[in-house]
Amino acid sequence: MQSSAWLTDVIRLSLLAAGLTLLTTALTHAAAPPAAGYTNPVTAGYSADFPDPSMIKGRDGWWYAYSTGGPYAKDGHDGDSYKIARSRDLTHWEKVGSVFGADNRPTWADPASGFWAPDIRYLNGKYVLYFTVHNTTTTPDNWDYAIGAATAPTPAGPWTDSGAPVVAPRPAAGGGFEWTIDPAEFTDTDGTRYLYWGSYNGGIHAVRLTADGLRTVGAVTNVARDRFEGPYVVKHGGYYYLFGSSSNCCAGPTTGYAVFAGRSRSPLGPFVDRLGNDLNASRTGGTPVVASNGNRWVGTGHSSMVTDLSGQQWFAYHAVDRTDPFVTNSNGWLLRPMLLDRLDWSDGWPVVNAGAGPSESSKVSPVTTSSAATGDVRVEADVTGTGQGVSARGGRVSAVIDNGRLRLTNRFGLSRSVQLPLNVPGTIALEIRGNQATAEFSEDRLGDPLATLQLPMSAGSGSAAPVGGAGNFSIAPLYKPVTRAVPTPRIGKVDSRYSDEFTRGLGAGWTWRNVSPDATVANGALQWKTEANDLTDNNTAAKASLLLRDQPTGNFVVETKLHLNVGTDTVRNYQQAGLLVYLDDENWMRLDHVAGGTGRFIEFGKRMRFTPVGAPSVVTFGGAMIGPPAETTWLRLAHDVVPQTGEHRYRAASSTDGKHWVWGAAWTLPAGTTPRIGLVSQGSSAQTDAQYGKATALFDYFRVTR
């Protein structure tokens, strides 16, 4: 653990009246700096690997980020068990050190255990870091996951473990232990603290915490199905939003990890997506927030959030560079650097870059320094007690702490106040947009305000200042929200040369790769029973029946209407059917309605052979979740050519009514290749067939629109 003055001092501004006048005059009249640009990954130059990131703005003015342990260097050397970094601008990071060392390692963590998935908070005047231990000393099992908490006076440490797990290992129904991992704290407006955690073995859970955030209180609530992990909760517009990552985290260049969201009027759910689908249902809901878009970034997941000085929210998450995913001379040791992208809200739902997905080109940087602001403005400062706060527009509006209340006052003498549920240090932010002033008090600026007030405001300008010795003061032009999502792929007219309505047998243009004896055309549909051979199985891939045809050139969308009755909540592994894009048995992608475990989902899977530099080639498979299925589901794949690379790009969508579509991840195939498109019905296991029989996929049509 490093130790120096800048790691332990908490810098506060304490300004006299004359000093305030000089400062605010300079801030009001200084020229605004030009908008600088940044490029992902933001941890480049500091660390090649920074998975599961969590961020906070420290009360010393620095931004801090924490991650699961791993190497700093691309060659896999020079690592830490649990990383801490700091930045002045959110886009250039430097090493602080590690959370735990030999002198402060939790005694209940097995010496062989790693530390995963941090969550950083500022509670009751202390920094609290929640963490995952995968091997504890509380049971003989080597994979008895648990969640702990450590506290520190500064975001750099020194860290002191709370002495025992906050959430102890939880036995799983089928034996072993649930994946009690990926913690995230949330404090509600009534002062109640909650902890969320969970993963694919057990689902996402929530429980109330004691006031210090170090112990649980009461019953545990299951809030999302075992399709998700890496929860994160914020409050926005009267709703609680649960973010969760889904699909495989670590499949190299085919990592399908992506972030979804659901919302609720209660912090304990039920959480539903934009279309009203429950995140706890067998046909699991989830509105996409970020997914791969065909550039070099895949595996976009395990997110947290941070707000810059303008009020703009930013999404911090890790991703995989599909062109160079592994440690040097390796074909399996994955690197996941941290990305940062703008988080927008469109029609009440969060989405990264207005739906454009992860960025790889230069983007406008977050606002992290004070600058001139004469119109819409945001001012903020850290406060510790009564009389402290901020003012704006020459003192015509102020937001202060007033004997345990947040008070907002404007120039007309109008004043509103609300009792704060907790007597704690925190941050006051005052935003003026048009004729409205909004004041917010939070402990740590992480999307869970303890109180919010609004008042009308007249037009004008003027200086801004901290009040009563408030520290860490800033002023900046208020961000301009981006509310219009980027357009989804255009649906053109049906091209009959590449389409089939299945009215009189198979139409022209189809080719079987291994004719299926269980496929017939009858009653206006292709009826095809799920076969046992599967393209993901090296032993049966060559035997799998595939129905294929040439794809057109240029942009097009292929669509099918699929009826597949695999029920809900029962285990029918892994019956599935859907659309296929095929090069050969090692390079293909499919968009299927899949029965997996007790869940039902739409998976856009990709298999490919990848050859890393300095290591043997490897065949990888990964899947990206799209929307929820129904007994009848519509599927689409939109094709275009990536201008920079010439690759074939396919973006997936699904619908349960043929009208409202969920657009999700995109995969690519190499430039210069000739993929074919088609249909598939497979994945049935002997056990599933014996218990339930084969499922029958009914394809109502196969249409290509251009």
Of the residues 229, 308, 592, 647, which is catalytic?
229
| Amino acid, res. 299 | G
Active-site choice (52, 119, 344, 603) = 52
**Residue 488 corresponds to which tokens in the numbers above?**
């989804």
**What whole-number distance in Å separates Cα of residue 162 and Cα of residue 687?**
47
**Among 692, 679, 484, residue whose Cα is nearest residue 588:** 679
Active site residue 52: yes
* Cα–Cα dist 256/665, whole Å: 8
- CB of 438 closer than 8 Å to CB of 454: yes
How many angstroms separate the Cα of 235 from the Cα of each of 45, 119, 229, 301?
34, 17, 19, 20
What residue type is assigned to position 640 of the chain?
D
Q: Is 380 a catalytic residue?
A: no
Cβ 97 vs Cβ 6: under 8 Å: no
Separation between Cα atoms, residue 6 and residue 173, nearest integer Å: 48
Classify residue 570 as left (phi > 0), alpha (psi -120 to 50) or beta. beta
Residue type, 84: I
Token pair for residue 517?
């004896």
Token pair for 573:
């592994």
HSE-up of residue 591 (Cα within 13 Å, Cβ side): 30
Coil vs helix vs strand at 460: coil
> CB of 464 within 8 A of CB of 370?
no
d(C-alpha 630, C-alpha 692), whole Å: 19
**CA neighbor of 129 nearest in space, from 195, 60, 220:** 195
Only one residue has tokens 């995952």, namely 132
Residues 193, 183 contacting (CB under 8 angstroms) = no
Q: Which two tokens stand for residue 481?
A: 């929200």
CB atoms within 10 A of CB 125: 12
Distance between CA atoms of residues 544 and 532, nearest Å: 8
Is residue 593 within 8 Å of 668, Cβ to Cβ? no
Tokens of 53: 């990131």
Which CA distances in Å does 291 have to 91, 308, 368, 565, 608?
21, 23, 27, 28, 19
Give the C-alpha separation, 201 to 245, whole Å: 14
Active site residues: 52, 229
